[in-house]
Structure 1
Amino acid sequence: MTGKLYGLGLGPGDPELITLKAHRILTSAPVIAYPAPDTGPSFARQIAGPFLRADQLEVPMIVPMRVERFPAQDIYDAAAVTLSHHLDVGSDVAVLCEGDPFFYGSFMYLFARLAGRYETEVVPGVSSMMAAAAAYGRPLAARNDVLTVLPGPLDDEALSARIAAADAVAIIKLGRHFSRIRALIASLGLTSAAGYVERVSLSNQRVLPLNAVAEDVAPYFSMILIYKGQEGWAHASHSSQSAAQI
């Protein structure tokens, strides 16, 4: 019998936000795979680190951190071949994913290559978007509000049109696009309705109104939340609990 493939959502970074189900599989699977940059540690591996055992086989999947578009197909092709060797001999394989595996997660590319050949289970995780709203102390959306998630690399025209059509917006993948996006939000008259959260749930988390951010760049793990709906939250200050974490 072949092994079972798991895609484990680990949440936004705090190990305590790993679900009980993900923890059970994480601590029992003999093979643990995770994406890792070509320089520096794997974030997914760091989240899971407190629960890993010395006798588990770790399989890092090296993904170069470059500006050009990824995933590179050959990287996931090679990773699928490597993981299939373990599955073929009957070993379960747990692939670690920060956040949720199917919400901009790299596991979806392995799923496309392997799920048709092996029993596969995807374990959802707490997404950074939900964690950011909790940290900022303002609900994402309610009732009939339309919530839109926008990747920061979209151009200004696309961002403007989608923001205009939404009641609530989460802009992710800010990085080098932060200054441009902040200027766009200002041009739309929405700065006072926008909050900024970076490295949510980690010890170096920052939570503050967008107009209080002094920097012109943001880390990859950062997000802007905008509320334009009817619930009266748009200009609400973030919570005192969040303010203490700035």
Structure 2
Amino acid sequence: MISLEDIGGRAVAGTLYGIGVGPGDTRYMTLRAAALVCSVDVIAFFAKKGRQGNARKVVSALVGAERRELRFEYPLTDEVPADHSEYREQIAGFYKETAAALEAELKGGRSVGLLAEGDPFFYGSFMHMWRRLDEAFPVEVVPGVTGMSGCWTRANAPITWGDDILTVIPGTLDEERLTQRLAASDAAVIMKIGRNLEKVRRAVESAGLSDRAIYVERGTMADELIMPLRECDGVAGTYFAMVIIPGQGRRL
């Protein structure tokens, strides 16, 4: 019988692992990711104030009570616009302190698994740690199923057909740019919805795509919500939501 350890391999001392934990359902984690979560010396994760942290929640069944953990709590998230100087200053300082804490663990010879929702190299906070530590320490990035892949699968909506070009758009863009990008897209995924939901709805309508747009909140998770975007009246929107617009390309 081949064990999970045999398939995924064990963590190496003094190595930083960026572990993609997938879209939310623990069963969608890769074997490598699951094996490392079980074997690293330290589990590290980002979280919003007062929250468990989505990536940490995904791996709960794999982490015992005695594991050493590092919780990195964002000083702010969507309270201030990302292009505001206050946001940049606070988050930059936070990432600097976080990198220093990880560096101390790695210098002590401990392996660290820094969890990331979806894939670590796709809109992930892990990338800011990778940029600071990759040249000084061994770093391995473990790819994960992206949130958008989990969402369009749960919505039963194939996203690209034939020669469709997929555009991934952050919902934080201003309404005019959102509309322009959407109007030029065969298929689209709008991420980082949060408080931008109404703006996104207007942009999708202006681009003439409302009939194809699907709202997916916490896709693959126990409390997921899936509905046509045009029916989202009264929905508050969360950061872990996205709008998917399937393409209409060649179908044989």
* TM-score normalised per structure 2: 0.87
SS for the counterpart of 1:179 is: helix
Contact 1:179 1:216 in 2 (8 A): no
Indicate the percent of aligned positions where both proteins have the same amino acid: 36
SS for the counterpart of 1:191 is: coil
1:122 aligns with 2:141: yes
1:215 aligned partner: 234
2:61 aligned partner: 50
Q: Deviations over 1:56-84 (max 9, x none)?
A: 21011111234322561111111111111
Contact 1:25 1:94 in 2 (8 A): yes
How far residue 92 of structure 1 moved from its aligned partner, in angstroms, is 0.6
Contact 2:179 2:206 in 1 (8 A): no
1:203 aligned partner: 222
Q: 1:216 to 1:187 in 2, by over 3 A?
A: farther
Please, which of 159, 173, 177 is the counterpart of residue 192 of structure 2? 173
Contact 1:170 1:226 in 2 (8 A): yes
Unaligned runs of 5+ in 1: 233-246
2:165 aligned partner: 146
How far residue 21 of structure 1 moved from its aligned partner, in angstroms, is 0.5
Unaligned runs of 5+ in 2: 1-11
Please, which of 94, 97, 122 is the counterpart of residue 75 of structure 1? 94
Contact 2:183 2:208 in 1 (8 A): no
Q: 1:159 to 1:88 in 2, by over 3 A?
A: same
2:8 aligned partner: none
2-structure distance, mates of 1:148, 1:116: 32
Stretches of 4+ moved more than 3 A in 1? none
Higher alpha-carbon deviation: 28-37 or 184-193: 184-193
1-structure distance, mates of 2:218, 2:13: 38
Q: 1:11 to 1:129 in 2, by over 3 A?
A: same
Count of matched residue pairs: 232
How far residue 216 of structure 1 moved from its aligned partner, in angstroms, is 5.0
SS for the counterpart of 2:140 is: strand
Please, which of 37, 40, 45 is the counterpart of residue 51 of structure 2? 40
CA-based RMSD: 1.7
Please, which of 2, 13, 18 is the counterpart of residue 7 of structure 1? 18
Contact 2:191 2:242 in 1 (8 A): yes
1:184 aligned partner: 203
